Chain A
Amino acid sequence: MSTVQTDRKSNVAVEVTLAVILLIAVAPIAWTVFLAFMPNRNIVASDWQISFWLGNFATIFADGTFMLQVLNSIMIVLGSVAVCMVVGSLAGYALSRLHPPRWLTIPALIIAAFIPLIPPMTLVPGLYLLLSEIGLIGTVPGLILVNGFLNLPFAALLMSSYFSGIPDELREAALVDGASEAKTFLLVMLPVVKPGLAAVGIFTGILAWNEFQMGLTLTSGGETAPVTVGIAGLLQPYAVTWGEMAAAGTLAAIPIIVMAVFANRQIVAGLTAGAVKG
């Protein structure tokens, strides 16, 4: 391996090209953070006026609706992550280790394979009717269920691959020792797949936090909407609130990027597995 590394060390062109691409990857994020600390008149000015101003953040936090939307989003994230972890790990376990009857596995596999393929927007007319009928249209519980469901196929398939990685003897041993199926699952199998649960939790959490289409179409906006819809409301092509926009974008993006730095492994697992399967 070391010979391969010394071969590569000399290549300045590679490092420089990569550095340029990394700058392009980071530039829009950096530009947004930069503008978040500028008053509007500096942003629309035709020359470059640099300042450090916290007024944009103050305006956003003073807006009660925005804070309510942040709370909605947090509840949607917690709720849908819980749905994905509980229902997803049970389903993943059943698909990989138990042998449920065919009449149940076949619909499950169709759902798991089909849902990630179709544009969510095609489900919206039907979901709109469904939520209206059960009285959950425009509510946080309604969005928890929809978000949870949209991420369930990914959660189930990822958990199933983690469960498949456990040697079968562990389960057999627990059963032979007299543990019930439920106890074996909860006390023996689940603790082994903690890394899988972490990946599912972090990744579905990010997806639920980022979700926009369902929040837009299944709520009437305002105080019932998630924060993505609130931020979208600031986006007008000829808007004048550039600074507030940048501040809101910074507040929404930075926590996720910090997470991407510290939970890199789980997110990479989610991005590759989630994309392969969905």
Chain B
Amino acid sequence: MRSTVEESPRVREAARSREQRPERRKRSRSTPFAILALLPFVLFGLAFAAYPLFQVARMAVSDVQIRSGQFTWEFTGLANLRQVFSEGDSWQAVGNTLFFIGATVLLSLILGLVLALLVDRAVKLLPIARNVLIWPAVVAPVVVSLMWLLILSPTAGGLNKVLRTLSLPEQGWIADGPSAMAAIVLVDVWHWTPVVFLFLYTALKAIDASTLEAARVDGAKEVELIRFVVLPALKPAIAAVVVVRIIMGVKAFDEMYLLTRGGPDGATTLVSQHIKTLFFDNLELGEASAFSLAVVLATAVILGVFLFFRSKADAR
């Protein structure tokens, strides 16, 4: 408890009235209003998360067919799971997603850190930078894809136009496998580095200015200052933002879907795209659900392991 609050007369008064009427306090702990206030939230969760997840689990262990608009269910156990993971496409989607997460997390972390350090040291551009740098993060993913298609399209994109003007060879960009993956990584980094920047900049501002000043007075060079004072102080924020970006990477769908549809030849198919293809295009409802569940479980396990090691590192 904060001592300033404890000392205020209003609280003492409230505390006294609490002592005088303990039964009232007890009643206020479990008023019907407390239940009524939280109930809608829990009902939403039951209807839109628990029930769909239950259905996903049910579909995952069933052979589901749609016959004349009716769903027919037949229990098949782990057959769907075995089937979906016996297909190369599924492993390709998992591999692509892991690569995508690794590349986007690393690149946006480095860029976001550089931006935070730059903005922290800027004077003239500081107000503009703090505003402009959140623009990419608020634009709809669909519109972000559109903007980058106008740049990366092999036929009419701005980048090839520039290359042509400079008499350099034109590129396929999103039409070729490796450069298509590079393109969706680049677009994701452009879109979400602002979030990393905001996190790290906020944490940077929270570092005690006198610590930095003292290090400078002691003759620390700027690089040493960053290496030995700033980076250690930013460690918790960096860990937090890495978790956030990993989660965003697992969820990624929009830009990849709109720019490449997962192609060419599945080179950029991420797990969300794979679920959508299985469910809506192949109508393999059971396999789609089994794969969904596997993704949910894998996400939970990976985050659990990460948080476990982080708390262990913190404790040390």
Contact = CB atoms under 8 A, between A and B. Distances in A.
Contact of A125 (B13, B44, B289): B289
Interface stretch (B82-90, B102-110, B136-144): B136-144
19 contacts: A44-B155, A111-B41, A115-B45, A119-B296, A121-B251, A122-B296, A123-B49, A124-B279, A126-B59, A146-B48, A156-B41, A169-B8, A172-B14, A235-B145, A237-B153, A237-B259, A257-B139, A271-B134, A275-B195
Contacts of B251: 118-121
B211 to A, nearest CB: 12
A198 interface: no
B28 A129 contact: no
Given A122-B275, A235-B258, A261 B131 contact: yes
Interface stretch (A51-59, A60-68, A85-93): A85-93
Nearest to B32: A181
Contacts of A141: none
Interface string B292-316: 1101100110010000000000000
A117 to B, nearest CB: 6
Nearest to A234: B146
Interface of B: 5, 8, 10-11, 13-14, 17-18, 28-31, 33-42, 44-56, 59, 71, 115, 118-119, 121-125, 128-151, 153, 155-156, 158, 161, 164-165, 174-175, 190, 194-195, 198-199, 202, 209, 212-213, 216, 240-241, 244, 247, 250-251, 253-254, 257-259, 271-272, 275-276, 279-280, 285, 288-289, 292-293, 295-296, 299-300, 303
Contacts of A95: 38
Contacts of B174: 237
A118 B151 contact: no
A173 B10 CA distance: 7
B292 A122 contact: yes
A213 to B, nearest CB: 6
Interface string A249-267: 1001100110111001001
A97 to B, nearest CB: 9
Given A121-B272, A276-B244, A108 B41 contact: yes
A11 B120 CA distance: 12
B244 A90 contact: no
B66 to A, nearest CB: 10
B37 A124 contact: no
A124 B146 contact: no
A65 B303 CA distance: 43
A161 interface: no
Interface of A: 1, 3-5, 7-9, 11, 14-15, 17-19, 21-22, 24-26, 28-29, 31-32, 35, 43-44, 46-48, 86-88, 90-91, 93-95, 98-101, 104-105, 107-108, 110-111, 114-130, 145-146, 148-149, 152, 156, 167-169, 172-173, 175-176, 180-182, 185, 206, 209-210, 212-213, 216-217, 228, 231-232, 234-235, 237-238, 242, 245-246, 248-249, 252-253, 256-257, 259-261, 264, 267-268, 271-272, 275-276, 278
B138 A259 contact: yes
A127 B52 contact: yes
Nearest to B273: A121
Given A25-B133, A125-B59, A125-B288, A245 B51 contact: no
Contact of A213 (B42, B254, B295): B254
Nearest to A264: B131
A87 B138 contact: no
Contact of A90 (B37, B51, B153): B37
